[in-house]
Structure 1
Amino acid sequence: MNTSAIIATSILSLLSLAAIVSWLLAKRRTQQQYAGLAALKQLKNLVVAIQKHRGLSCAFLNGDQQQIHALEQQQREVAKSQQLLADNSFVASQSRWDSFLQHWPRLQQSWKENNLENNIAQHSLMIKNLLFLSQDLAGFYCLTTLSKQHKNIDFLWHELLETAESIGQVRALGTGLAAAKKSSSVERIRLAFLHNKISQIDAKSLNHFANSFVPDDPAYQPLLEHLLTTIDEELIKKPNPSISVNEYFKQASKVLDGLYQLFDAGIAHLEAQQHAKHE
Structure 2
Amino acid sequence: MNDALIIATAVLLLSLVAILIHKNRRQQIRQRQRDGVELLIQLRTLLQHTQKHRGASYGALNGDQQLKQSLAGVAAAINQAIAQVDCLPQLACQDHWLAYRDHWQRLHSNNLKLEAENNLQQHNRLISVLLYLIEDVAEQANLDELASQETDIHSLTSIWRDLPRTAELVGQARVLGSGILAEGKAGTVDKIRMRFVRGKLQEYIDAEQNSEQALQHLVSVIDQQILADGAAQQNGAPVLNANDYFELSSRAMEPFFASMDAGIGRLKQMT
Normalising by structure 2, we get a TM-score of 0.87
Cα displacement string for residues 209-233 of structure 1 (whole angstroms, at most 9, x for unaligned residues): xxxxxxxxxx643332222121122
Q: Aligned pair 1:224/2:203, yes or no?
A: no
Q: Which moved more, 1:42-51 or 1:243-252?
A: 243-252
Change (3 A) 1:228 1:238: same
Give the equivalent residue in structure 1 for 2:194.
Answer: 191
- Give the alignment of 1:41-52 within 5 angstroms: 41-52=41-52
For 1:113 and 1:13, the matched residues in 2 are separated by: 69
CA shift for structure 1 position 46: 1.2
Question: 2:246 corresponds to which residue?
Answer: 249
CA separation of 1:53/1:138 partners in 2, compared to 1, >3 Å: closer, same or farther? same
Stretches of 4+ moved more than 6 A in 1? none
- Shift of residue 29, structure 1, vs aligned partner: 0.9
Alpha-carbon distance between aligned partners in 2 of 1:32 and 1:202, rounded to the nearest angstrom: 36
Greater CA deviation, 9-18 or 172-181? 9-18
* % identity of equivalent residues: 31
State the SS of the aligned residue for 1:227. helix
CA gap 1:183/1:90 in 2 versus in 1, 3 angstroms: same
| TM-aligned CA deviation for residue 86 of structure 1 | 2.3
Q: Is the Cα–Cα contact under 8 Å of residues 182 and 240 in structure 1 kept in the other structure?
A: no
Amino acid at match of 2:228: K
Give a deviation string over 1:74-103, Cα, whole Å, max 9, x none.
111111121222244442212222222221
RMSD: 2.3
Q: Which moved more, 1:78-87 or 1:88-97?
A: 88-97
- For 1:81, give the aligned amino acid: A
Equivalent residues in 2 for 1:97-108, closer than 5 Å: 97-108=97-108
Where in structure 2 are the equivalents of 1:1-279 lying within 5 Å? Answer: 2-147=2-147, 148-149=149-150, 150-152=152-154, 153-201=156-204, 220-238=211-229, 242-274=239-271
1:25-83 Cα distance to aligned partner (Å, 9 max, x none): 21111011111111122112111111111111222222222334421111111111212
CA distance in 2, matches of 1:202, 1:17: 54
Note if contact 2:59-2:68 (Cα within 8 Å) is conserved in structure 1.
no
In the aligned structure 2, how far is the partner of 1:203 from the partner of 1:47? 26
| Residues 5-44 of structure 1: CA deviation (Å, up to 9, x unaligned) | 4443443333233222222221111011111111122112
Please, what TM-score do these two structures have when normalized by structure 1?
A: 0.84
Q: Deviations over 1:91-145 (max 9, x none)?
A: 2212222222221122112221223322211111110111112112211122111
Looking at structure 1, the residues matched to 245 and 125 of structure 2 have their Cα atoms a distance apart, in angstroms, of: 23
CA–CA distance in structure 2, aligned partners of residues 58 and 121 of structure 1 = 10
Aligned to 1:210: none
Q: Contact 1:120 / 1:169 at 8 angstroms: preserved in 2?
A: no
Query: For structure 2, which runs of at least 5 residues remain unmatched after alignment?
Result: 233-238
Contact 1:33-1:142 within 8 A present in 2 as well: yes
For residue 44 of structure 1, give the secondary structure of its aligned residue in structure 2.
helix
Q: How many angstroms does 1:197 deviate by?
A: 2.0
- Give the conservation status (yes or no) of the 8 Å contact 2:96–2:129: yes
Instruction: Give the stretch that moved more between structures: 120-129 or 107-116.
Output: 107-116
1:257 to partner: Cα distance: 1.4
Aligned residue in 2 for 1:215: none
For CA contacts below 8 A with separation 6 or more, give which structure has more relative contact order. 2
